[in-house]
């Protein structure tokens, strides 16, 4: 299992950023996906998946 902290550390390492900067990037991506989904928009990330809030 990969955690958000592990993803943030990888981004930071690969791009010469601090762990705090990497974490901010990961949080910003998830916040953007959440905002789009809750507004009714669909987010599609090739190779990863689609995100959309649906009424059940």
What is d(CA 22, CA 42) in angstroms, rounded to the nearest whole number?
25
Per residue in 36-49, pLDDT tens?
A: 888 888 888 899 88
What is d(CA 56, CA 53) in angstroms, rounded to the nearest whole number?
9
Grade residue 51 by pLDDT with cuts at 50, 70 and 90. confident
SS (H, E, C) the chain: CCCHHHHHHHHHHHHCCCHHHHHHHHHHHHHHHHHHHHCCCCEEECCCEEECCCCC
Specify the range with the lowest mean pLDDT, choosing from 16-20, 41-45, 50-54: 50-54
């Amino acid at each position: 299992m990969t955690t958000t902290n592990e993803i943030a550390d990888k981004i930071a390492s690969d791009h010469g950023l601090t762990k705090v900067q990497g974490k901010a990037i990961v949080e910003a991506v998830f916040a953007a996906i959440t905002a789009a989904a809750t507004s009714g928009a669909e987010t599609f990330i090739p190779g990863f998946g689609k995100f959309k809030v649906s009424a059940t």
